[in-house]
């Protein structure tokens, strides 16, 4: 079973952790790649954490699909979306939800994002754990990864459906538009 737990630190805890980590690395003589350290420190220093929850939904007969998502910055909602995307498979709808969410985030010039999805397939394909074999899915995958390359940092995490209720609701609303 995959562990998707994350360490949540307060601002003062982050500052203390940064001081301790920097001091340890200076004194230990451990050679580390500077980009790794910079990435860790930048993630810890970010005060305005932006998270995006996404979901796609499709009718079982293939006669319509919807996408939805909601984005928060420092726990405050900055936007949500719900759209009908025509006749698509459920997996295509999941990718379209990611792509549409990324469009909205990029419009707001956000450069660091944590994305949550209940689609294990999409998460594992984007994170390089699963191969993308279907031709239509390859196009979706390429579009999504191309968009992700515009971010300074991004993380895509699988969550259970129960923890993605708002995006799930919005994607189902998209079916009815």
Predicted confidence (pLDDT) per residue in 101-134, tens digit: 999 999 999 999 999 999 999 999 999 999 999 9
pTM of the predicted protein model? 0.74
Predicted confidence (pLDDT) per residue in 52-67, tens digit: 999 999 998 878 999 9
Q: Which residue, 84, 57, 159, is CA-closest to 114?
A: 159
Contact present, 119 and 171 (Cβ < 8 Å): no
CA 61 and chain centroid, separation = 28
Distance CA 126, CA 27 (A): 37
**In the chain, where are the structural domains located?**
11-45, 50-176
What is the enclosing helix (H) or strand (E) of 54? strand 50-58
- Residue 75 has what DSSP assignment? T
Level-2 CATH architecture, domain 50-176? 2-Layer Sandwich (3.30)
Distance in Å from the first CA to the final CA of the chain: 37
Distance CA 143, CA 137 (A): 10
Mean pLDDT of the chain: 86
Residues whose CB falls within 8 Å of the CB of residue 21, separated by 6 or more in sequence, listed in order: 37, 40, 41
């Amino acid at each position: 079973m995959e562990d998707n737990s994350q360490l949540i630190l307060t601002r003062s805890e982050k500052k203390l952790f940064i001081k301790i980590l920097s001091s340890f690395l200076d004194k230990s003589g451990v050679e580390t790649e500077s980009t790794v350290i910079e990435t860790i420190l930048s993630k810890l220093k970010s005060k305005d954490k932006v998270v995006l929850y996404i979901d796609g939904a499709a009718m079982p007969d293939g006669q319509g699909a919807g996408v939805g998502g909601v984005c928060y910055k420092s726990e405050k909602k900055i936007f949500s979306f719900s759209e009908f995307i025509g006749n698509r498979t459920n997996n295509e709808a999941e990718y379209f939800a990611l792509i549409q969410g990324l469009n909205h985030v990029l419009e707001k010039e956000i450069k660091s994002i944590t994305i949550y999805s209940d689609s294990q397939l999409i998460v594992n394909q984007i994170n390089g754990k699963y191969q993308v074999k279907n031709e239509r899915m390859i196009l979706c995958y390429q579009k999504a990864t191309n968009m992700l390359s515009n971010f300074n940092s991004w993380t895509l995490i699988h969550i259970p459906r129960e923890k993605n209720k708002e995006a799930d609701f919005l994607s189902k609303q998209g079916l009815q538009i």
